[in-house]
Amino acid sequence: MLVSSENYLTVQSHYAGTLAAHYSWMFGGYNARLQQNRALLAMHLPRHPTSPQEPPHPSLQQQQQQQPPSSTSASPSPSLSLLPLAIDLGCGPGFQTIPLLEAGFRVLAVDASKGMLDELDAERIALNIDPTLITAVQDDMLNFRASVADATAATVVCMGDSPTHLASLHEVKQIIDDAFAVLAPGGGTLMLQFRDLTRPLEGTDRFVPVRSDNMTVFTCFLEWEIERDAAKTPPVEPDGSGRRVKVHDLVHVKKGNSTWELCKSWYHKLAMSTDWVARALTDAGFAQVRVAEPQHGMQLVIGIKA
């Protein structure tokens, strides 16, 4: 596998070492977050998704993971090639993948984290969803275009803050340009959802309580990096887009003998404004670009291909 994003390996080890084990819990459990995303996607997905008339791209078929059979019998799937294709970049445990499958798409789901993909597979099995409808790939999302023929996808989503995990605005532009290329004309839709980190927090406000219960206390510390060497770091836009934020996750977990263990690790996120993202979508060629109402502190920018 070719690693393209400069952040890929740090993100992968951060999720493996700290975040994947607590990710769904952070949102009040899997079902609560899934329900939010079902509602969000129902509002914004293309109503009559484009159905590509050709069979799936050969490389997409090759990449299909051997999925274990469902524990109970899944309902028979309609002919795969007639279903519209959705691509979920940075799919995590499937908070968008599952609603996309339920809405009648076949899904290419890409993520760096094996733990997250394992959780997605467990949820798919629990929900009795036909395994042939999903191609789950552990890969760098920047490589997805190699798996999909141009002008064949009904929708590309990169949501739940996945865009900010990329290392630079240049990498975000690559995702936007590649999404434009693979989307079918006449309504192909790109959805990017992210936290706007362009306004730095100061002092103790940088310590953000994420969630706690009697067994776990999750705190996040955010550090906006100063540009030290302009020649080495990509330029930052006047509105703060492009600035790197070092995100430290601090998780206290209660042990059996009533002591607490601290698990800590960090990764980088990228600041970007809705204005910058909307402009990048317009520059890529999207005919309609819309900024939706923010939900749960996240911005959503949607582009529709003419």
Ligand X SMILES: C[S@@+](CC[C@H](N)C(=O)[O-])C[C@H]1O[C@@H](n2cnc3c(N)ncnc32)[C@H](O)[C@@H]1O
**Residues forming the site for ligand X (CB under 6 A):** 5, 8, 11, 15, 90-92, 95-96, 110-113, 116, 140-142, 159-162, 165
Provide the β-strand partners of residue 223.
246
Residue whose CB is less far from ligand X, 31 or 81: 31
Beta carbon of residue 266, minimum distance to ligand X (angstroms, whole number): 14
What torsion do the CA atoms of 269, 18, 208, 27 make, to the nearest 10 degrees?
A: 100
Q: How far is CA 151 from CA 40, 199, 202, 273, in A?
A: 25, 37, 45, 28
Provide the β-strand partners of residue 270.
244
Measured between alpha carbons, how far is 275 from 15 in angstroms, rounded to an integer?
29
Query: What six digits make up the tokens of 79?
Result: 């002919």
Beta carbon of residue 37, minimum distance to ligand X (angstroms, whole number): 7
- Residue 268 near residue 7, CB atoms below 8 Å: yes
Residue whose CB is less far from ligand X, 94 or 131: 94
Beta carbon of residue 17, minimum distance to ligand X (angstroms, whole number): 12
Residue whose CB is less far from ligand X, 183 or 191: 191
Going by DSSP bridges, is the β-strand pair 244-254/216-224 parallel, antiparallel, or unpaired? antiparallel
Beta carbon of residue 53, minimum distance to ligand X (angstroms, whole number): 29
- Residue 180 near residue 285, CB atoms below 8 Å: yes
Residue whose CB is less far from ligand X, 52 or 156: 156
Residue whose CB is less far from ligand X, 112 or 278: 112
- Residue 272 near residue 242, CB atoms below 8 Å: yes
Residue whose CB is less far from ligand X, 10 or 64: 10
Residue whose CB is less far from ligand X, 5 or 50: 5
Beta carbon of residue 157, minimum distance to ligand X (angstroms, whole number): 8
Beta carbon of residue 226, minimum distance to ligand X (angstroms, whole number): 24
Class of residue 238 by CB neighbours under 10 A (exposed 0-12, middle 13-18, buried 19+): exposed
Measured between alpha carbons, how far is 265 from 87 in angstroms, rounded to an integer?
29
Question: Which stretches of 68-194 are assigned E, i.e. beta strand?
Answer: 85-89, 106-111, 134-138, 153-158, 189-194
Beta carbon of residue 72, minimum distance to ligand X (angstroms, whole number): 26
Residue whose CB is less far from ligand X, 113 or 274: 113
Most distant CA atoms of the chain, gap in Å: 61
- Residue 138 near residue 79, CB atoms below 8 Å: no
Residue nearest ligand X (C-beta atom):
160
User: DSSP assignment, residue 17?
Assistant: I
Residue whose CB is less far from ligand X, 46 or 92: 92
Beta carbon of residue 113, minimum distance to ligand X (angstroms, whole number): 4
Beta carbon of residue 76, minimum distance to ligand X (angstroms, whole number): 29
Q: How far is CA 40 from CA 95, 149, 160, 208, in A?
A: 11, 27, 11, 25
